[in-house]
Amino acid sequence: MSKQLSLASLVLAATVAACAAPSSEDMKLSSDVERSINTHPALQADLLRAQAVDHVVYLSGSADTWLEYYDAEEAARTVPGVLRVVNKIEVKGVRA
């Protein structure tokens, strides 16, 4: 019983580790999206981050205006290989 439990734990740990590690393709796509954002003249790239998972790009960070929010999303969409953009950028100029 103990060997079966240990084997099951090992398989579970390996599965979780494999899911958590980004693929080299996702890392390249994240880098390409960040490069696209960095070259956009209206964006403060140091406040924005991009992470790709299975060709879906997740944007995070903060923007001063809604225009920056949408410009970052558009910059991400134009990168080859991006299937979808999930924009989680916080707009600082908006009061809740």
pLDDT band per the 50, 70, 90 thresholds, residue 10 = low
Q: Please, are residues 33 and 52 in contact by the beta-carbon 8 Å criterion? A: yes
- Residue 5 clears pLDDT 60, i.e. is over it: no
Domains along the chain with CATH numbers = 23-91 (3.30.1340.30)
Q: What percent of the chain has pLDDT over 70?
A: 75
* Mean pLDDT, range 49-68, rounded to an integer: 96
- Residue 31 clears pLDDT 70, i.e. is over it: yes
Across the chain, what does the average pLDDT equal? 85
Return the number of other C-beta atoms located less than 10 Å from residue 25's C-beta.
12
DSSP 96: -
* Mean pLDDT, range 53-81, rounded to an integer: 96
